[in-house]
Amino acid sequence: GENVEQHPSTLSVQEGDSAVIKCTYSDSASNYFPWYKQELGKRPQLIIDIRSNVGEKKDQRIAVTLNKTAKHFSLHITETQPEDSAVYFCAASLDVYSSASKIIFGSGTRLSIRP
């Protein structure tokens, strides 16, 4: 089955700097890669996703890149702000038309923004 590895487990950056979180996946059939943010004591929420037919996607200060050949994808946060402090999870799944699909998550990255 699918296995998603995520690095680093913790990350501390100065406010205003950039943060990068990396994930690798094992199942070459996976083609949907979402990222979730979980603030302290809250539920995970989707912040951005990418499908295999796209190499990069941006939404304001966040971007995700995908390298299908190497089976890895990354989350980039620029101009970090205090409200970016949270745990971030990457995930992988098969496409929406597969009844065998399920969402497998990485182990999470705790991002701290230093003032």
Residue 15 or 39 with smaller CB distance to other proteins: 39
> 30: closest CA among 109, 105, 79, 93?
93
Nearest distance from residue 61's CB to other proteins, in Å?
20
Residue 49 or 78 with smaller CB distance to other proteins: 49
- The residue ranges that bind other proteins (CB under 8 A) are 1, 6, 9, 32, 34, 36, 43-46, 49, 89, 93-108
Residue 11 or 105 with smaller CB distance to other proteins: 105
SS3 84: helix
Nearest distance from residue 79's CB to other proteins, in Å?
25
> 48: closest CA among 30, 67, 61, 62?
62
Nearest distance from residue 40's CB to other proteins, in Å?
12
Question: What CA–CA distance (Å, rounded) separates 52 from 63?
Answer: 15
Q: Which two tokens stand for residue 35?
A: 């990222």
Residue 46 or 54 with smaller CB distance to other proteins: 46
Tell me which residue has tokens 């929406």: 96
